[in-house]
Structure 1
């Protein structure tokens, strides 16, 4: 048998094992609210190839590809336990078991490592939390996709309604079509049907009421059976506490804004300051996509090196706020054709840093250029550090942050020398450090941070909503056993 034959046979064996993992992962998720991860990457609703690629990612952490033959026994051991709602990382289980010298079997080690999620220790399954989307544009539709994807057992977040202004004949059909097909992010993963008589979109079994309203004050959500809901405002029309308070109608308990908040509205970047949200806070902001892209790596750099000052230049994809062709616009430059020009504009990301990182003493300035690509942007973060360092040190530090730190869901790291913007469409991280572009000279460091300003940001929004809803479950194993 040739090497090629050996490789192909090995691939087919791993394919078969990955196929057998899918129903086990799905059953744990649906019946017990358990999300199976592999080095922080979810395996729920993933294809065979996606599962195998996730195992290959383990090379970045352990220096060798993790095989499904190694993780499958841990998954089988999990199915035999009385698990409660949690996130369980197969990669961490396999890694810590390999390093453990007590001679425990896979079943014994797994039971010990996830003991906090079993028996008397387990969290009780919570009632589903209603979510309402106010506005159904680019971010609204991507958040909807994520909420539907994560519906799982039905005991987490449940998208109950979207609120839009009436758009005329077949309005709901057209909105459902935009949810079903997206020119950038591809086809919706599942099925969508429309009931025009009841103004309902049914996506993967989730019945979503379409409510038509021109103003928040005209809606009583309890009329639709909605209770204690979190409303996500995707319009950006109201950004201060007074304006956003209009959403606090019957049926709505909290309001989350997908734009930078003004005044005393907290700007939250998940992974950095989400733990500061007060339990009784009813109104909060998820800041901007650019703020979410720069704040996690800025915090990481400040924690290790100290940051004295910095400047961020964002090269940002165009958005619906700009014109396709030259036309009147209230902003001086955004009226010029978005697909034909680079457009200098402003960004509020630098000023928003102070809200997300109040302990950061460095002055951060910022500016932005809109460019003719429809999605994925890059932030160039130029920092003066409190001590001198080397490119190798910063490279290795940021790589480790992306793999093992509490910011690993926010910061990704790529070494591919030929990476370009379209490679990051669909990234679930807030930002991705481009290792090849990193520059360090003494106390000066320049970081190039890619980010999917649509999907990556939407993932951050959903993480904040999960946190304030109490459905962000603990991860096991928490530490090496």
Structure 2
């Protein structure tokens, strides 16, 4: 047999193993509300090829490809345990087992590593938490996709309603079509049907009421069976406490804004300051996509090296706030054609750092340029560090942060020498460190941080909502058993 035939046979064998993993992953998710991860990437509802590609990602982490033959035994062991709602990383299990010198069986090691999610220790699933989307634009529809995807056993977040202004004939049909197909993010993974008579969208079995209203004061959510819901305001129309308080109607318990909050509204970047949210806080903001992109790596660098000052330059994709062709706009430059120009604009991300990282006293400045791409941006973070270092040390540190630190869901890492913006469409991380572009000279460091300003940000929003709803399930294993 030739080498090529050996390689092909190996591939087919791995395909077969990945195929066998799919029903186990699905059953754990549906019946026990367990999300199986591989180095913080979800394997739920993934295809055979997607599972194999996710395993291959480990090449840039440890220098070798993680095989499904390595992770399958851990997945099989999980199916035998009395698990409660949780997230379990089989990539981390495999890596930690390899480093363990106690000669335990895979079954014994796995049981020990996830003991906090089993038996008397496990979290009992509840009835779930109602969620309402106020607005159904770019972020609103992506958040809807994520909520539907994460419905799992039904014990987590439940998208119950969408509030929009009436748009005329076939309004609900058109909105459902925009949820079904997206020019950037592709097809909705599942089925969507519409009942115009009851103003309901059914997406993968989730019945979502479409409520037409011009103002929050017009709605009594309890009339739709909605109670203690978290409302996600995607409009950006209200950004201070007084305005957002208008949403606190019957049936609504908390309000989460998908834009920077003003005044005393807490600006939350999940992974950095979400644990500062007070239990009785009813109004909070998820800050901006750019703030979410720069704050986690900024915190990581400040923790390890200290940061004396910094500047962030964002090269940002154009948004709906800009005009397709030159026309009047209340802002000075955003009236010029977005697909035809680079447009200098402002960013509030630098000033927002102080809200998310109050202990960081370093001055951070910022500016922004909008460019003619529809999605994915890059933040160039230039830092004066508290001590001298070198490029190799910084890259090793950030690679480790992306894998094993509390920020591993926020910070990703790529070594691809030919990476470009479209490669990161659909990334679930708040930002991705581009290793090849990183520059370090003594106490000066420049980080290039890619981020999907639509989808990656929407994932951060969902994490905040999960946290305040009480359905942010613990992740296992910890970094040490």
**Deviation larger for 129-138 or 107-116:** 107-116
- Could you tell me which runs of 5 or more consecutive residues in structure 1 were left unpaired when the two chains were aligned: none
Determine the C-alpha separation between the residues in 2 that align with 1:393 and 1:110: 32
How far has the Cα of 1:299 moved from its partner? 0.6
Please list every run of at least 4 consecutive aligned residues from structure 1 whose deviation after the TM superposition is greater than 6 angstroms: none
CA contact (8 A) 2:60 2:415 kept: no
How far has the Cα of 1:307 moved from its partner? 0.8
The SS at the match of 1:461 is helix
Distance 1:133 1:168, change over 3 A: same
Determine the C-alpha separation between the residues in 1 that align with 2:333 and 2:175: 30
Determine the C-alpha separation between the residues in 2 that align with 1:270 and 1:152: 22
Q: In the TM superposition, what whole-angstrom CA distance separates every residue of 1:404-435 from its partner, at most 9, and x where no partner exists?
A: 21111111111111111111111111011111
- The normalised TM-score by structure 2 is 0.99
Determine the C-alpha separation between the residues in 2 that align with 1:161 and 1:423: 33
Distance 1:438 1:61, change over 3 A: closer
Q: What pairs up with 1:183-198 in 2 under 5 angstroms?
A: 183-198=183-198
Q: In the TM superposition, what whole-angstrom CA distance separates every residue of 1:218-259 from its partner, at most 9, and x where no partner exists?
A: 100000000100000000000000000000000000000000
- The normalised TM-score by structure 1 is 0.99
CA contact (8 A) 2:227 2:251 kept: yes
**Deviation larger for 85-94 or 278-287:** 85-94
CA contact (8 A) 2:60 2:414 kept: no
How far has the Cα of 1:182 moved from its partner? 0.4
The SS at the match of 1:316 is strand
**Deviation larger for 106-115 or 193-202:** 106-115
How far has the Cα of 1:375 moved from its partner? 0.5
Q: In the TM superposition, what whole-angstrom CA distance separates every residue of 1:20-72 from its partner, at most 9, and x where no partner exists?
A: 11011100011011111112111111111111111112223333212111211
Q: In the TM superposition, what whole-angstrom CA distance separates every residue of 1:375-423 from its partner, at most 9, and x where no partner exists?
A: 0111111111111221222122112111221111111111111111111
Determine the C-alpha separation between the residues in 1 that align with 2:117 and 2:91: 17
How far has the Cα of 1:99 moved from its partner? 2.3
**Deviation larger for 421-430 or 381-390:** 381-390
Determine the C-alpha separation between the residues in 1 that align with 2:345 and 2:66: 45
How far has the Cα of 1:102 moved from its partner? 2.5
How far has the Cα of 1:201 moved from its partner? 0.5
How far has the Cα of 1:103 moved from its partner? 2.4
Distance 1:439 1:100, change over 3 A: closer
How far has the Cα of 1:101 moved from its partner? 2.5
Given the alignment of the two structures, is residue 464 of structure 1 paired with residue 464 of structure 2, yes or no?
Answer: yes
Q: In the TM superposition, what whole-angstrom CA distance separates every residue of 1:166-208 from its partner, at most 9, and x where no partner exists?
A: 0000000000000000000001011000000000000111000
Measured on the aligned residues, the alpha-carbon RMSD in Å equals: 0.9
How far has the Cα of 1:301 moved from its partner? 0.8
Determine the C-alpha separation between the residues in 2 that align with 1:37 and 1:361: 36
